[in-house]
Amino acid sequence: MTAIKFSIITAVWNREATLGDALDSLAAQSYDNYEHLVQDGGSTDGTLALLAGRPDCRRKLISERDDGIYDALNRAMARASGDVIGLLHSDDLLAHPQVLARVERCFEETKADAVYGDLDYVSASDTSRVIRHWKSGEYHPAKLRRGWMPPHPALFLRRKVIETWGGYDTSYRIAADYDSILRYFAKGQIAAAWLPEVLVKMRVGGESNRSIERILRKSREDFSALRRNKVGGIGALAGKNLGKLSQFLIRS
């Protein structure tokens, strides 16, 4: 049986301060059958020098101007050759060296279209300090109408899912990830398997929560994605937002 090849995608722009940690977490993986597609938006800090100083034959770098993170991710996905696509944002870390190995085993055992895990939000200055814990839980289609979604950075998809159902709709500036998840899970009715462990550590301070204006825009876009994919409306949106409260009850 041929081992699964991963395409790990990193979209980056001026992230010299955090990108090194992401690269270290990928290089530490025990499972090494992957390509690393880095899509740089034309960084003007030391990001490109950092990448040049850490050569890796599996890395394929393109640096060019783009129209935001979702456009950058689409460009990288278009050149992916792996069986499974996963994201490694430039502010994030794979939680431990066995992440890809365990995801690969879960795909082999379940034959699922998607494998997802849990996520820890961590302090930007101390990634060992957990601020929020996102426990995904088992997937059931009815959960979508209650606002459920898996953590986007901890979601791995077979490439055929994206080829069939498309990438990110860049008309959504903040919620294109939610729209794509609803499209894959609701319209595509993909088979998904939960790996009940933390796969990704994500630094707090994401794009969608940096101001009241962006929070409101995200809510509008989330609602649009729900209606567009015929999953629900205000009730699902409320469930999605209220569900975040439990994430602050950190595990003992």
Cα of 203 vs its chain's centroid, Å: 13
Question: Is 79 a member of any domain?
Answer: yes
pLDDT exceeds 70 at position 252: no
Residues 186-205: what's their mean pLDDT?
96
Kindly report the CATH number assigned to the domain that includes residue 46. Answer: 3.90.550.10
What is the pTM (predicted TM-score) of this model?
A: 0.94
Instruction: State residue 243's pLDDT score.
Output: 83
Question: Is 38 a member of any domain?
Answer: yes
pLDDT by residue (tens digit) across 100-123? Answer: 999 999 999 999 999 999 999 999
Separation between Cα atoms, residue 167 and residue 170, nearest integer Å? 9
Segments forming the whole domain that contains residue 39: 6-248
Question: Is 153 a member of any domain?
Answer: yes
Alpha-helix runs per DSSP H in the chain: 16-27, 47-52, 69-78, 99-110, 159-165, 176-182, 212-228, 234-242
Question: Is 35 a member of any domain?
Answer: yes
Question: Is 136 a member of any domain?
Answer: yes
Average pLDDT, the chain: 94
pLDDT exceeds 50 at position 240: yes
Instruction: State residue 125's pLDDT score.
Output: 93
Question: Is 236 a member of any domain?
Answer: yes
Residues 11-40: what's their mean pLDDT?
98
Instruction: State residue 64's pLDDT score.
Output: 98
Count of structural domains, the chain: 1
Instruction: State residue 2's pLDDT score.
Output: 74
Q: What whole-number percentage of the chain has pLDDT above 70?
A: 96
Question: Is 1 a member of any domain?
Answer: no
pLDDT exceeds 70 at position 131: yes
